[in-house]
Amino acid sequence: MPVLSYLWIIPLLPLMGAAANGIFGGRWQKKVITAVALSSATLAFLLALEAVREFLTLFPNQIPWIRTYFTWISAGGFQADFALQVDQLTVIMLLVVTGVGWLIHIYSTGYMQDDPGYRRFFSYLNLFMFFMLVLILAANYLLMFVGWEGVGLCSYLLIGFFFLKQSATNAGNKAFWVNRIGDFGFLLGVLLIFRTFGSLDFATVLPRAAGMTADPAGQIGTLTAIALLLFVGAAGKSAQLPLYVWLPDAMEGPTPVSALIHAATMVTAGVYMVVRSHAIFLNAPVAMQVVGVIGCVTALFAATIGLVQTDIKKVLAYSTVSQLGYMFLACGVGAFGAGIFHLMTHAFFKGLLFLAAGSVIHAMGGEQDMRKMGGLRKKIPIAFWTMFVATLAIAGAPGFSGFFSKDEILNEAQVISPVLWGLGVLTAGLTSFYMFRLLFLTFFGRQRYDEHKVHVHESPRSMTIPLIVLAVLSVCGGWMAAPQLMGGVNHFEQFLAPALVTGAEPAAAAVESSGGGGEILQALLGAPVIAGLLGFLLAWWFYIKSPEAPKKLADSLSPLYKLFSGKYFIDELYQAAIVRPLVWISDKILWHAVDERAIDGAVNGVAFVSRESGDRLRRANTGNIRSYATWIVLGVVVFTSLLLWMVD
Amino acid sequence: MVPTSYYLVLSAVLFGLGVIAFIFKRNILTIFMSIELMLNAVNLAFVSFSRLLGQLQGQVFVFFVIVVAAAEAAVGLAIIILIHRNRGTLDVENVDSLKD
Amino acid sequence: MQQTYLLSVLTFLPVAGTMALLLLRDDDHLWIRRLAMTTAGVEFALSLLLLRGFDAHAAGYQWEEFRTWIPQPPIHYHMGVDGLSLFLILLTTLLTPISILASWKSIDQRVKGFFISLLVLETGVIGVFVSLDLFLFFLFWEVMLIPMYFLIGIWGHGRRIYAALKFVLYTMFGSILMLVAILWLYRITAVAGYPTFDVSQLQALLSNGTIALPVSTEYLLFGAFFLAFAIKVPLFPLHTWLPDAHTEAPTAGSVMLAGVLLKMGIYGMLRFCLPLFPGAARQFAPYIAVLAIIGIIYGALVAMVQVDLKRLVAYSSVSHLGFVVLGIFAFHQISIQGAVYQMLNHGISTGALFLCVGMLYDRRHTHLISEFGGIATPMPVLAALYLFSCFASAGLPMLNGFVGEFLILAGTFQRHADWASWAALGVILSAVYLLWSYQRVFFGSLTQDKNGTLPDLDTRERGILFVMAAIILWMGIGSPFFTRRTEAYTQNVLQLMRRPQAYNAGGLPKHGSGSMYLDHAPVTLPGLDTAAYAGVANSVKLK
Amino acid sequence: MFPPLQDLYRIAPEIVLCGFGMLVMLLAPVVSKARHDLLAGISLVGAALALVATFYPARYPGLAYSGLFRADSFSLFVHWIVCGAAFLVILGSIGYLQRDDLDAAEFCALILFATAGMGVMAGAHELLTAFIGLEMSSIASYILASYRRDAPRSNEAAMKYFLLGSFATAFFLYGIALSFGATGSTHLDLMTPLANDSAHTLLKIGLGFIFIGLAFKVAAAPFQLWTPDVYEGAPAPVTALLSTGPKAAAFALALRIMASIDAAAPLWFWALWVAAALSMFAGNLSAIVQTSVKRMLAYSSIAHAGYILVALTAAAATDHPEEGIAAALFYLVGYALVKMGAFLIVAHLGGPGERLVDIEDFTGLARRQPAMAACLSLFLLSLLGLPITAGFLGKFYVFNAALESNLIWLAILLALNSVIGAYYYLRVIVAMYMREPAAEIVAEPVPWTLSAVLWIAAAGTVFAGLFPARIIDFAAKAALNIR
Amino acid sequence: MITPQIAMFLVLAAVTVAGAVSLILQRHPIHSALSLIVVMVALAGLYLLQGAEFVAAVQIIVYAGAIMVLFVFVIMLLNAGEEERTNVSRLARFVGVPLGVVFLAEVAYWIGRATSHLGSAPAETVSTRDLSTLLFREYVFPFELTSFLILIALLGALVLARREESN
């Protein structure tokens, strides 16, 4: 087992790349830097493939495959090792991360070609790969937390990559801080886990958790508390309500970053974490409900905002939030497999969407406003076709990857609660609407930009090839689940199942069996598809047939429109309710009032008082011996009286 | 015979008067005199005690006190002369440049 | 025990260095610097011997030195090292050469005096950490004030004199009361028949119940000790000397202050407050914890709105040390280990931050955030290393800060989930104030064109910061190297905190008695009737 | 009927002192004014010999002159203090006298006589003898205080010291008279109240007045007001003497009385307590606001009197007074060394006519005269009570004594006061090291005699601060043998 | 009942107190000096009354004779005028003097109360011989010391009173 036993090599490679470029890269020219960065990513991918191959040869009893390398923290009764683990879940994530990551590395070499921060960019990107791999390979919560925080760091660095732009650095800070709020929850969750199970290793914690009796519905027991705390972390990392606010702003970063971190991999870490701890969630019904509802609401909520965005990347950002909502919905209804399945397909098509959008922006010379585009279909065909494919995928057009995953999620949701299902379907419709809106605005209609200012050109091959590869994946990425429609088995689920049955009684499996086996027709004419179709038609009507319609509609529904385009004014709310008061209190009250007035005032006050009393006292020294004599006699009288009257 | 307490009370009164004089007078010379008065009061006390106790020490002490008084007088008057020479006044209340 | 002299050497080598310095001409700056650096370097090398010979599993003190110093009252020259002090000494010996290097160029006035103060300071601090006799401890504790006072007062900036005075008076107020407490404790031991200032002996006497303190007495004693240490730490609301001292002190001063001096407070709590007065410690733990938590949050919030970088870092120290105190008074082995580890971390990462700020100051002679902006463009290297230190102190995993904070929280959480939860808020806030200030200083386009021409770090400065960064990384990943050596200590202290129900009196040889001199045979001089002198001590009848 | 030889041995130091005093006086007319430093040298030898001569009382301890005088380790200890003080003052003031061309002969002679008086106080075992000793030292100090004849401030100081001093002496004397009446004796060991019931009251008043007289001498509040004026006005070397020798002697006498007369301690306890507290606060608080270093030091010596009084209170509070007495003695040693050094430095820096004694004039001293500044800082730190100085150990022992007598509150007051004290001592250090000089002052060369004194004082301070064992042991021995 | 001695005492006491009071009230120092002399003479009388003849003699000769003459001499030398009743120190005037009275009252009262019952002692006259033996045997040490005391006084007068030959 060359690779599996030396698992640490996989994360280490990108780290080396990052270190090499970051520390010594200053003196190298671009070729070398590119070579280092790419080779590390590529090698990581290849080794991951090899690892998977070896993994498939393992016996079931060897899974999860855990390797402990060194003790990281140990104190008192506490110990956390640097231990990596591989099971089916990890394998999927591993492939997604290394694969998509690798493609995006390639893409970036083209996209960042002329950027002065080329070296910085790639060292950050490699570093991100490292932390992401640590996150998914970790065999205990603490090491997972390392990756968790690490990817947060990289996202901070990459969002603020153009650090000369105020908005970019603001976005970076916002991302990190909001994530920290999530981490606060995660950390407490971890602490509670340690307190409850006396360990943080998945191999110890999860079986025990599964073994425990579930918290009664509607009550918050230990497990529920853990689950909820963990979910706070997940919500922060995966941009769920109410912590999603950082993701849209994160689009300040370079587009490949948005594709890799803020679409394909990092933001899905929350989902991964929840799925990883499914044993805990399954015994915490309240937590499950919360997760499901939050996911579902987020999906709808973000979709509505996505309807009216004009910045091409913003649309995609909100769609990401919405899609993540789907994944949590899946988890919430116990369909962890489906969640991961959607995670994977989403990684393909959303990554593709971003990259394509990236090459559009590249072509437009940095322009991101869709209203200033249009009619690009002919000029950049590859971008168009790939994006078209991706759109179909995300809209859930039958046969495309998105179709299978989303369909499955909704099926499972239907079993648990029709309401969630309804909202999900509605969201599906909205999704296809805003995606096609994006497509039409960008590639169809008359061109709304100045031919002479920007000369639109197709991107270099380094960028187009990843597009094509991802397009292929977005099409057939979901076919593993296809047989299910023919009443067959869902290979994906089947593969994943062993990782998900650590639970004594896998609810997921149960749900799945009930949800499966519908026949093709029902699936094809299922509500999601219809909704998607409607969305498409609506978009076609608005943006091809009668382009003035949206204006009218916006005016007729202006309050609603304002609400959407104002993103429900959540940011403003946070500003007014939290940020400003906090700063004001810290500045005016805590610092100036408490620290300077009260405490220091008291200290200086003592000094002042003693100086004053000293001044009074020395006045006694009038220099006139008659008064001195008076004092002496006073003393005499007092002391003698003391002796004569008191002492006896 | 005269009760000893009479003498003692008298000496106390004299001593007290000396104290009052010290505070009340302004002329350095008279202040100094009031000290002499106090010493005399002490002498009276010594004498009457020695008589009461039938011990001679008391009277011996008187000699010592007188000698000390003499020595003090010599030095004190010299200092007073200096003061008068340097300041041209004998009023203590004008001699208060050292203060606070 | 085998007599070694390593600790004495370690303690007094710097002073020897200052003696050598005195021989140099005042204006011979180069050689003064070199000599000081050599001394500190040798010192550091020697201190590594400690590490090599240290037995991680021995519970008691190692490298002990024990000599009688003052017979009456029985004061001993007693030194020793255990897991607690070991790394604090190393920290000191490490930070001293670093701060000497850091002030290589920036100090050009009265150079000799500066390095002398720095070395004397080192002696004082090491002395505090190694002395196992309350008197000796107090002696070093006070001696250390003076060089620091000069460092701030002479080579500081702005309101340096105010800051220096404030620092000394604040500290003295606490320590003088501690002196009273020390003596009171001695009296108690003396009355009980075991007069001693010896820390280990006291710990033994008190923990095996040979001496049982009355509750009220224990509270008062604990109060006096704790006050002194809490001022030093500093614990909210006794912290207001810290921002001033830090802001006005020269870089080296700030580094030593934050890196080492504050630790003396923590050290004191761990060495004295817990083992000697466990009852009181337990009694007051909740209130102290509340103060610590307030400190964590308050410090962070106030740091957030500072306009002066050094002040900001100073308040961040208040916040960080709040964590440490919390960890201590959770009385959980994990949390105490975390506390010990965290104070090392704080020494390194905050030290690094101060060094960075100092380097900015050397170039622009200001600490005001508003004076900077967009510095990352002219000084990428500093920007990178500063960010690194920021994340270290913000507790990013794989960097040192995280390990300590996590252990503290983990341990505290075992006992008091609520304390830990409140404290964890600090994790959010630290990121806020650090990154916000970082953004305002380094990011964005240049706000002032005179900042555009600032030279980036030279080799010396890079060297300093790389060393710090390396340590930060090492402590973040290889924490067991440290925790393994502090394990025995933490177990020991928790052991000492347990009081037996049944007292086994006479656990120790009884020597001496209540009065300081009764065991003096009354001195009889020839020619005097000795009867009048015999047993004078008792014959003075007073009521 | 010549007194037995042993008696002479027992007062050997006094004999030496007075002898050399007379010798100097006799030589003064024959030696030319220019060579009067020679006489200073001679009296220096005298002081040194007096120190040596303490060997005799040590060798032949016991009562002398029908129990009027007593040679024991206690008086020995005090003798060392006062003779040492005399030696240092003479040595340190040679340069001063030359600078302000004051006549060395009488100056030194007077110091020797005064010292003899102090010696008598230290050894006196009978109140009248003590009184004579007191007068010797006082009258000599009156003269010394006005030694700068034509300096009005000097005269004024002398006048105040003289009048108030004699005023207090009168009380002291009246006290003696009354206690004599109450006990029928003035021998300390025989002074037990007579059987009649008037005795008790008389003794009360008597001891009360004696206390007041001594409290005045040691500058304890509320009898301290003369101190700043006199210390400021008198020539600095004289101030150096006043703040050390007489104080030590007076404290010694007080201790002796307290330990010997059984009634004294309980009567004095509260008075001591109050006086201690008052002196500490009065001294420290007023010192904070001073601008003249000389006057500030004067106030600080009031505060220190308060600290020593704490030790006395401790001694008065228990039937094991040794710790209190020993603490007081040790404190006196450290205190004397330091105050001596400090005032002599002021004397030197003050320049002709002692005009430059303000803190402002000390700014930048560290640049002008680093050694001087270092010494002064050391002394100030010792006064402030920082470790490795005698001052710290002094405080340490005082605290120890106070706590042994369960005077917790007094101890805490003492603690607070040492913090207040820190404030103004550090202010001087600030001026010397951290401020730039306001006006340009030319540094005078330091005469070797002065630097010798400073070295001795500094070395002594540090030595006593590091290795107090010998001193404290002897102090303990003295405490044990006080009666 | 008033025996002659008591009458004598009362007279002398009255004179003494009167002298003391006039010492206070007289404005001109010379008058104060004279009233002090009166006090001393009266005191001498009181000594005689107690059979301390030698002391009385010394009192007259040394005290009234020598010391007070010195005073008068100095007063003349400095031709000190009447003291004007300046009142710079209000403290002394409004607190000090009353305090003095209080002090007088207190001490006089307590001493009187304490010794009231002592009664009187026989006034056998003291032989000067005994006195001298006591002085030269028991108290030879302080006696010798007083010689130095006087030496100091001389020295002081010498040092202080002489004018600089320089000017």
Q: pLDDT, tens digit, for every residue of B42-76?
A: 999 999 998 888 888 888 999 999 999 999 999 99
Nearest CB among D171, D267, D299 relative to A643 is that of D267
Q: How far is CA A52 from CA A7, A67, A85, A88, A448, in A?
A: 11, 15, 12, 9, 48
Chain D residues touching E114 at Cβ < 8 A: 198, 200-202
* Sequence-separated (6 or more) residues with CB below 8 Å from residue D201: A644, D182, E110, E111, E113, E114
Token pair belonging to E112: 């009187």
Contact present, E and A (at least 3 Cβ pairs less than 8 Å): yes
Mean pLDDT of E82-96: 78
Cβ contact B59–E149 (<8 Å): no
Contact present, B and D (at least 3 Cβ pairs less than 8 Å): yes
Cβ contact A631–D204 (<8 Å): no
Mutation for A interface: C308, C323, C403, C428, most A CBs within 10 A: C428
What's the pLDDT score for residue A1?
67
What's the pLDDT score for residue E163?
67
What's the pLDDT score for residue E159?
86
Backbone CA torsion sign across C185, C189, C195, C198: negative
Cβ contact E91–A622 (<8 Å): yes
E132/D contact by beta carbon, under 8 A: no
> Which residue does chain C place closest to D378, by CA atoms?
C146
> Which residue does chain A place closest to D157, by CA atoms?
A623
Cβ contact B79–D139 (<8 Å): no
> Is residue B27 a contact partner of residue B36, using CB atoms and an 8 Å limit?
no
Chains with at least 3 CB pairs less than 8 angstroms from chain A? B, C, D, E
Element (H, E) at A614: helix A601-619
Q: pLDDT, tens digit, for every residue of C423-432?
A: 999 888 999 9
Selected residue with higher pLDDT from C231 and A526: C231
- E 101-130 residues with CB below 8 A of D? 107, 110-111, 113-115, 117-118
Chain B residues touching A630 at Cβ < 8 A: 23
Alpha carbon of D472: minimum distance to chain B alpha carbons (Å) = 37
> Which residue does chain B place closest to A615, by CA atoms?
B100
Residue E147's CB: how many other CB atoms inside 10 A?
11
Confidence of residue E165 (pLDDT cuts 50, 70, 90): low
Place of tokens 């105190």: C325
B96/E contact by beta carbon, under 8 A: yes
How far is the C-alpha of A140 from the C-alpha of A134, rounded, in Å?
11
- The DSSP string of C473-520 is HHHHH-THHHHHHHHHHHHHHHHHT---SS-----S---S-SSSSTTS
What's the pLDDT score for residue A600?
87
Chains with at least 3 CB pairs less than 8 angstroms from chain B? A, D, E
Give the residue from A246, A229, A249 showing the smallest Cα distance to A237. A246
Cβ contact D271–A632 (<8 Å): no
Q: pLDDT, tens digit, for every residue of C123-180?
A: 999 999 999 999 999 999 998 999 999 999 889 888 888 999 999 998 998 899 999 9
Chain C residues touching A153 at Cβ < 8 A: 391, 396
Q: Can you tell me the ipTM of this complex?
A: 0.89
Q: pLDDT, tens digit, for every residue of A117-147?
A: 888 899 999 999 999 999 999 999 999 999 9
Cβ contact A619–B97 (<8 Å): no
Mutation for D interface: E159, E164, E165, E167, most D CBs within 10 A: E159
C396/A contact by beta carbon, under 8 A: yes
Mutation for B interface: A624, A631, A644, most B CBs within 10 A: A624
What's the pLDDT score for residue A210?
85
> Which residue does chain B place closest to E80, by CA atoms?
B90
Cβ contact C410–A603 (<8 Å): no
Confidence of residue E123 (pLDDT cuts 50, 70, 90): low
What's the pLDDT score for residue C450?
85
Q: What per-residue string of b and e applies to D118-130 under the rule 16 or more CB within 10 Å gives b?
A: bbbbbbbbbbbbb
What's the pLDDT score for residue D417?
92
C500: cis peptide before it, omega within 30°? no
Give the residue from C124, C84, C140 showing the smallest Cα distance to C328. C84
Is residue A519 scored above 60 in pLDDT? no
- A 602-641 residues with CB below 8 A of D? 607, 610-611, 613-615, 617-618, 620-621, 623, 625, 627-629, 631-632, 634-636, 638-640
Report the mean per-residue pLDDT for chain A.
Answer: 86
What's the pLDDT score for residue C131?
92
Interface of A with E (CB under 8 A): 622, 624, 626-627, 629-630, 633-634, 636-637, 640-641, 644
> Is residue C475 a contact partner of residue C407, using CB atoms and an 8 Å limit?
no
Mean pLDDT of A84-93: 90
What's the pLDDT score for residue C538?
36
> Which residue does chain D place closest to B5, by CA atoms?
D198
Cβ contact B98–A623 (<8 Å): yes
Q: pLDDT, tens digit, for every residue of A256-306?
A: 888 888 888 889 999 999 999 988 998 888 899 899 999 999 999 999 888
Q: Which residues pair with C75 in a beta bridge?
A: C70
Mean pLDDT of A594-617: 88
Chain E residues touching B70 at Cβ < 8 A: 62, 66-67, 150, 153
How far is the C-alpha of D177 from the C-alpha of B64, rounded, in Å?
13
What's the pLDDT score for residue C87?
92
- Whole-model pTM: value is 0.89
What's the pLDDT score for residue A459?
81
Mutation for C interface: D399, D405, D463, D470, most C CBs within 10 A: D399
Report the mean per-residue pLDDT for chain E.
Answer: 86
Rg value, chain B, Cα: 17
Report the mean per-residue pLDDT for chain C.
Answer: 86
Chain C residues touching A170 at Cβ < 8 A: 439
Element (H, E) at C75: strand C75-81
What's the pLDDT score for residue C514?
40
Mutation for D interface: E145, E149, E162, most D CBs within 10 A: E145
Residue C363's CB: how many other CB atoms inside 10 A?
20
Mean pLDDT of A152-173: 90
Is residue A328 scored above 50 in pLDDT? yes
Cβ contact A613–D163 (<8 Å): no
Chain C residues touching D462 at Cβ < 8 A: none
A498: cis peptide before it, omega within 30°? no
> Is residue A192 a contact partner of residue A262, using CB atoms and an 8 Å limit?
no
E140/D contact by beta carbon, under 8 A: yes
Is residue A384 scored above 60 in pLDDT? yes
Element (H, E) at C233: none
Mutation for E interface: D113, D131, D186, most E CBs within 10 A: D113
Environment class of A508 (CB within 10 Å of its CB; exposed 0-12, middle 13-18, buried 19+): buried
Cβ contact E152–D149 (<8 Å): no
Nearest CB among D262, D326, D404 relative to C187 is that of D404
Mean pLDDT of E50-68: 88
| Segments of chain D scoring below 50 in pLDDT | none
Nearest CB among A180, A583, A585 relative to C428 is that of A180
Mean pLDDT of A392-404: 86
Chain B residues touching A629 at Cβ < 8 A: 22-23
Rg value, chain A, Cα: 31
Environment class of D81 (CB within 10 Å of its CB; exposed 0-12, middle 13-18, buried 19+): buried
What's the pLDDT score for residue E20?
93
Cβ contact A640–D226 (<8 Å): no
A616/B contact by beta carbon, under 8 A: no
Give the number of beta-carbon pairs within 8 Å between D and E. 87
Is residue E83 scored above 80 in pLDDT? no
What's the pLDDT score for residue A643?
83
**What SS3 state is found at A13?**
helix
Chains with at least 3 CB pairs less than 8 angstroms from chain D? A, B, C, E
What's the pLDDT score for residue C471?
94
Q: pLDDT, tens digit, for every residue of A19-42?
A: 988 888 878 888 888 998 999 999
pLDDT profile of chain C (543 residues), mean per 10: 77 91 87 91 91 83 87 87 91 93 87 91 94 92 91 88 90 90 91 88 85 88 94 90 91 91 93 90 92 93 91 93 93 92 92 92 89 88 92 90 92 90 90 91 86 87 92 91 89 81 40 40 36 35 33
